[in-house]
Amino acid sequence: MVDPLPNFAANLRRLRAERGLTQDALAAGAQMDPAEIRRLESGRRDPGVRVVARLAQGLGVEPHQLLIGIL
């Protein structure tokens, strides 16, 4: 099985950058710690369903957009 974390991390970075958000701004919008955003974007943390939903809300996207290339 291919590790899905690199794709998730890349999707998160891309979507955040496309929206012109800093990691701190995304963290505020998703009600998360900025350090957590950094860990997720670097692929050091495996997000759960709730985290994916919070990130999607903070980015203004559907959760599946964070999972493109994983499934």
pLDDT tens, 10-38? 999 999 999 999 999 999 999 999 999 99
Q: How many residues does the chain have?
A: 71
Topology of domain 5-67 in CATH is: 434 Repressor (Amino-terminal Domain) (1.10.260)
Q: Where are the domains of the chain?
A: 5-67
| Mean pLDDT (whole number) for 48-62 | 97
What's the longest Cα–Cα distance across the chain? 34
Cα–Cα nearest to 12, from 1, 63, 49: 63
Q: Does the global pTM surpass 0.75?
A: yes
Would you say residue 70 has pLDDT above 90? no
**How many Å is the Cα radius of gyration of the chain?**
11
